[in-house]
Chains A and B, each alone.
Chain A
Amino acid sequence: ETGVTQTPRHLVMGMTNKKSLKCEQHLGHNAMYWYKQSAKKPLELMFVYSLEERVENNSVPSRFSPECPNSSHLFLHLHTLQPEDSALYLCASSQAGIEGYGYTFGSGTRLTVV
């Protein structure tokens, strides 16, 4: 365990389903991130929350909707996804603004859209 917990570990969903990914960090960090990792591509930053406010949104389609109810929890709500959205979705946290601290990642959710 790294201190960042993601659930579920695996998810298979149809294109018309609605599901949510959950991330919880127990490290007292003030920033949380959603990343997408597809085969043969670099990690893509999707969303950043700092102190529960969204600070980055890298042109992610609206079928992905993040939610950060408090500094320890981050959700990614999914609806009407496409097969090309199948990927490993990674959550990370960090203590932004403090030198010397790197990111801590969760184990990821492997999503398959059928």
Chain B
Amino acid sequence: GIQVEQSPPDLILQEGANSTLRCNFSDSVNNLQWFHQNPWGQLINLFYIPSGTKQNGRLSATTVATERYSLLYISSSQTTDSGVYFCAVGDSNYQLIWGAGTKLIIKP
């Protein structure tokens, strides 16, 4: 099956810093999503991005499908950005394979 690897596993930054989170996957996919899970467990969908680039405020994501990776950029980090960021990929509408996540801590 498809393997998903996220890096780094942990990241600690000062408020205001920029960061790049990476997601590598082992096979072609037609569904790739980035999620943020806050410290209370709520998972929020950030991007649906099987290819190309999208931006939403301070967050942007790029997926290079031919090279099987996706990047999530966070600029001017805020403490509310803390949590775990998950990448999930799939070749169908239903079955997503999840990475182990990147735990991000933003210090004030």
Contact = CB atoms under 8 A, between A and B. Distances in A.
- The contact size tier of chain B is 20 to 34
Contacts of A31: 93-94
Interface in A38-66: 42-43, 45, 48, 50, 55-56
B98 A42 contact: yes
Nearest to A104: B45
A31 to B, nearest CB: 7
* Of listed B33, B35, B94, residue having the most chain A CB within 10 A: B94
Contacts of A101: 48
B106 interface: no
Contacts of B48: 100-102
A69 interface: no
Interface of B: 33, 35, 40-45, 47-48, 86, 88, 93-96, 98-101
